[in-house]
């Protein structure tokens, strides 16, 4: 019996890459890239040290993860993106900044988490402005759905953080329902709603454009398991302390 094909949350289009990005993809990938595959990654071997690890899924042009890697050399960052232009752009930034704490994977994030990341190894997962697939017939393509959130929860260490943001209200409401329904996650909001934008997250060009057009932005944050003295450090991975409720 043939296994039904999984619906992907992205569509690969023949996007344009610049000559500089193509050069980066060819010359810099050996230093920063992790080739697609199914073997479980040894993160300590990948980064050459043992340190907290933060993953950004769908980093786009790399504005967030690039800034975080530059400002937090004590943290290792793993970026996952399927679009080559964005990967090339972040590679150029990594070269310019001389980053040692950044690695990139150009592969479906579901496949990466399912096959390549061991359980309870990540300190933080960031998913900022995933495609909202706003047409009703495309909602099935949305990344944030129960099975994927359960997969993320399994990869987080005790006390590890999942952070999300979207400028599409209907998608924000779906995120709330899905994440609040995951038994392994605890909302950082006292009323199980949205949280204030974390100070460490730089606004992307996409986000700033939306703000100029009057679009709202909704942030969510969840931790794996109950907060204890032993895992409280994860709440402060990027300097965020305590409850972070919006409003």
pLDDT digit string (tens) for 150-198?
Answer: 999 999 999 999 999 999 999 999 999 999 999 999 999 999 999 999 9
DSSP character string of 38-96: SSPP-HHHHHTS---EEEEES-TTSHHHHHHHHH-TTSEEEEE---HHHHHHHHHHHHH
pLDDT digit string (tens) for 206-223?
Answer: 788 878 888 899 999 999
Is residue 206 domain-resident?
yes
Is residue 202 domain-resident?
yes
Q: What is the CATH number of the domain that holds 100?
A: 3.40.50.150
pLDDT at 98 > cutoff 60: yes
Q: What is the pLDDT of residue 236?
A: 66
- Domain count for the chain, please give it: 1
Catalytic residues: 131
pLDDT at 234 > cutoff 70: no
Quickly state the pLDDT bin for 46 (edges 50, 70, 90). Answer: very high
Average pLDDT over residues 107-112: 95
Is residue 167 domain-resident?
yes
Is residue 2 domain-resident?
no
| Residue-number span of the structural domain to which 216 is assigned | 52-236
| Maximum Cα interatomic distance, the chain, rounded to a whole number of Å | 52
Average pLDDT over residues 94-104: 98
Quickly state the pLDDT bin for 246 (edges 50, 70, 90). Answer: low
Could you give the percent of the chain with pLDDT greater than 90? 72
Is residue 18 domain-resident?
no
């Amino acid at each position: 019996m043939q296994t039904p094909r999984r619906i992907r949350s992205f569509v690969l289009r023949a996007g344009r890459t610049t000559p500089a990005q193509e050069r980066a993809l060819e010359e810099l990938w050996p230093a920063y890239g992790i080739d697609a595959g199914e073997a479980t990654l040894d993160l300590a071997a990948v980064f050459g040290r043992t340190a907290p690890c933060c993953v950004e899924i769908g980093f786009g042009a790399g504005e967030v993860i690039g800034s975080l890697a530059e400002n937090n050399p004590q943290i290792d960052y793993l970026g996952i993106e399927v679009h080559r232009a964005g990967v090339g752009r972040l590679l150029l930034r990594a070269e310019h900044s001389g980053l040692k704490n950044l690695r990139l994977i150009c592969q479906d994030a579901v496949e990466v988490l399912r096959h390549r990341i061991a359980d309870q190894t990540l300190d933080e997962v960031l998913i900022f402005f995933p495609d909202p697939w706003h047409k009703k017939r495309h909602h099935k393509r949305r990344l944030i759905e129960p099975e994927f959130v359960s997969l993320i929860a399994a990869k987080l260490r005790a006390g590890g953080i999942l952070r999300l943001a979207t400028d599409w209200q209907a998608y924000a409401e779906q995120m709330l329902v899905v994440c609040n329904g995951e038994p392994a996650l605890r909302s950082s909001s006292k009323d199980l709603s949205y949280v204030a934008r974390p100070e460490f997250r730089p606004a992307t060009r996409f986000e700033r454009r939306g703000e100029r057009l009057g679009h709202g932005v909704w942030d969510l944050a969840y931790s794996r398991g109950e907060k204890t003295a032993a895992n409280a450090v994860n709440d402060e991975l990027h300097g965020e302390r305590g409850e972070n409720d919006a409003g």
